[in-house]
Amino acid sequence: MPLSVLLVDDSKTVRSVIAKALRLAQLPVHEVYEASNGQEALDVLEEHWIDIVFADINMPVMNGIEMVDRMNADGLMKTVPVVVVSTEGSQTRIEELRRKGVRDYVRKPFAPEEIREVVDKILGAPNHDRTE
């Protein structure tokens, strides 16, 4: 199944790194949307079907935590899995994120395999064939 992915980070470099990792992981990504903060991400989610969101925490305008809170308050958006991609190394804070409803966490720097594992775990490997 082709995937629509939303990358949320205020750094263009990070969005490029994640997009590259998705390609190298050979996931069947059909569409990659980008947003530079939580508010822009909510706007994309209003307009497009998204299978999975990769988001940073610290962003201007609206941070990743507030974005998740706002998604949780919306009947449809709360079904979209959010994976945090961050430099955060504190297990205390990662547990807080999970309690908020964040589905998984990938720590920077990461390998493409880590992105693939997370997507497989959340969306289920049978639901998306890898491109060869």
Partner 1 sequence: MTELNEHMIEAICDVLEKLAFMFGENAEKEELSEPPEQAFQGEIEFTGDVANGNFGLIVPESMCRELAVNMLGKGPGEEVTPDDSKDAIQETLNVICGQLLTRAAGDQPVFNLSVPKVEVISGQQWNALAQDEKTSALLIDDYPVLAYCKFERTN
With CB under 8 A as the contact rule, the residue among 1, 61, 111, 125 that binds partner 1 is 111
The helix/strand/coil state of 37 is coil
98 binds partner 1 (CB under 8 A): no
User: Do residues 108 and 87 make contact, with C-beta atoms less than 8 angstroms apart?
Assistant: yes
User: Do residues 1 and 30 make contact, with C-beta atoms less than 8 angstroms apart?
Assistant: no
Report the residue number, 11 or 127, with the smaller CB distance to partner 1. 11
Report the residue number, 24 or 76, with the smaller CB distance to partner 1. 24
How far apart (Å, rounded) are the C-alpha atoms in residues 27 and 3?
Answer: 8
Applying CB under 8 A, which part among 45-53, 63-71, 106-114, 115-123 lies near partner 1? 106-114
With CB under 8 A as the contact rule, the residue among 1, 11, 43, 48 that binds partner 1 is 11
Closest CA relative to residue 27, chosen from 43, 49, 57, 3: 3
List interacting residues with partner 1 (CB under 8 A): 11-14, 16-17, 20, 58, 86-93, 107-111
